[in-house]
C-alpha cells in the first residue's frame, strides 16, 4: 500500500463551515476522489484510520462531519470504545441532531463536498466514489441520486432505513442513480430487515441499476466500526474486499 497523509480541514457549505478529514497518497498526485460518509458516532480516530487505509489503495478520501451545524467533531463526547448498551445517553444526545439532518440539507451539503473534491489538485478528473456506514449509506445514496453525473460508484454497509414509507425514501430514488451500487447488509440488523432488503432489491431491479446486494451472516449493525461493540473482524475484512473491488472497477 502507498504511504498516505491525513489532515483536518474546513469545507465551505451554503450553511457554514463543515469540518472534515482528508487522506491521500503522500506523493501528492491526483487520484480518484472518494466521499466517505460517517456513521452516527461521527468523525473520530477510527474513521480517520479507515480513510487512511482507503487512501493507501490510491484514492483521495474526504470524510465530512455531516453534523457540522451542531458543532465541530466530536459533536458529542465519545468514549474510546463505544458500547451503546452501556452508554445509552450517547444515542439520546445524537438522535435529535440526526433528525435535524433533513434530505434537503444532505443534498445541499453533498454539492459542497463534491465541489471541493472537483476543485482539489489532489483529485483526478472523472467520477467519484462514495461509501457510507450505518446512516452514511443513505447519505451516499442520496448524493448519487442528486448528482448522477458526478458519482460513479456507491457502497453502503450495515445501513438501515433504506426502505421507509416516506415519499423520498432512499429506495424510491434509485432510478435517478447512474452509479454502480454495492450493499453489505448485516443479517442481525433490525433497521434493515429481510423484507426491506427485498423491497430495495425490487426497486433496483425495476430501475435497471447495476448492483450487488449481499447478506453478511452473523454480522450486526455497525460491523465495520473497530471502536464499537458491534465490530466483526471477519465481516469487516469482507467489506474491504468488496469496497476495493467496486472502486477499482468503476473509478
Give the domain CATH number at 90.
3.40.50.1820
Task: Give percent above pLDDT 70 in the chain.
Answer: 100
* Side-chain half-sphere CA neighbours of 237 within 13 A: 2
Question: Known catalytic residues?
Answer: 134, 189, 221
Q: How many CA atoms lie within 13 A of 170 on its CB side?
A: 26
**Is the pTM of the predicted complex or chain greater than 0.95?**
yes
- Statement: residue 131 has pLDDT above 90: yes
pLDDT, residue 1, reads 79
Residue 2 has pLDDT above 90, yes or no: no
CA 122 to chain CA centroid, nearest Å: 20
State pLDDT tens for residues 221-239.
999 999 999 999 999 999 9
Domain that holds residue 98: 4-250
Beta carbons of 217 and 235 less than 8 angstroms apart: no
Q: Are 20 and 43 in contact (CB under 8 A)?
A: yes
Q: What separation in angstroms does the CA of 28 have from each of 23, 35, 146, 203, 220? A: 11, 18, 30, 40, 37
Specify the number of domains making up the chain: 1
For the chain, the average pLDDT equals 96
pLDDT band at 86 (very low <50, low <70, confident <90, very high): confident
- Look at the alpha carbons of 86, 92, 94, 99 in this order and tell me if their dihedral is positive or negative: positive
Amino acid at each position: 500500500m502507498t504511504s498516505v497523509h491525513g489532515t483536518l480541514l474546513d469545507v465551505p457549505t451554503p450553511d457554514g463551515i463543515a469540518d472534515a478529514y482528508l487522506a491521500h497518497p503522500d506523493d501528492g498526485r491526483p487520484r480518484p476522489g472518494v466521499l466517505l460518509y460517517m456513521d452516527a458516532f461521527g468523525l473520530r480516530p477510527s474513521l480517520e484510520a479507515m480513510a487512511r487505509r482507503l487512501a493507501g489503495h490510491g484514492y483521495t478520501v474526504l470524510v465530512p462531519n455531516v453534523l457540522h451545524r451542531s458543532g465541530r467533531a466530536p459533536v458529542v463526547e465519545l468514549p474510546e470504545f463505544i458500547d451503546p448498551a452501556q452508554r445509552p445517553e450517547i444515542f439520546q444526545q445524537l438522535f435529535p441532531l440526526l433528525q435535524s439532518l433533513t434530505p434537503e440539507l444532505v443534498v445541499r451539503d453533498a454539492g459542497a463536498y463534491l465541489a471541493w473534491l472537483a476543485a482539489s489538485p489532489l483529485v483526478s478528473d472523472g467520477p467519484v466514489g462514495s461509501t457510507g456506514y450505518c446512516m452514511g449509506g443513505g447519505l451516499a445514496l442520496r448524493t448519487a441520486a442528486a448528482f448522477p453525473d458526478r458519482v460513479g460508484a456507491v457502497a453502503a454497509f450495515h445501513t438501515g432505513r433504506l426502505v421507509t414509507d416516506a415519499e423520498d425514501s432512499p429506495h424510491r430514488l434509485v432510478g435517478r442513480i447512474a452509479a454502480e451500487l454495492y450493499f453489505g447488509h448485516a443479517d442481525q440488523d433490525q433497521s434493515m430487515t429481510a423484507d426491506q432488503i427485498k423491497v430495495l432489491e425490487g426497486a433496483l431491479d425495476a430501475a435497471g441499476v447495476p448492483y450487488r446486494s449481499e447478506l453478511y451472516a452473523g454480522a450486526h449493525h455497525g460491523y465495520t466500526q473497530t471502536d464499537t461493540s458491534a465490530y466483526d473482524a471477519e465481516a469487516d475484512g469482507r467489506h474491504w474486499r468488496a469496497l476495493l473491488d467496486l472502486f477499482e472497477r468503476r473509478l
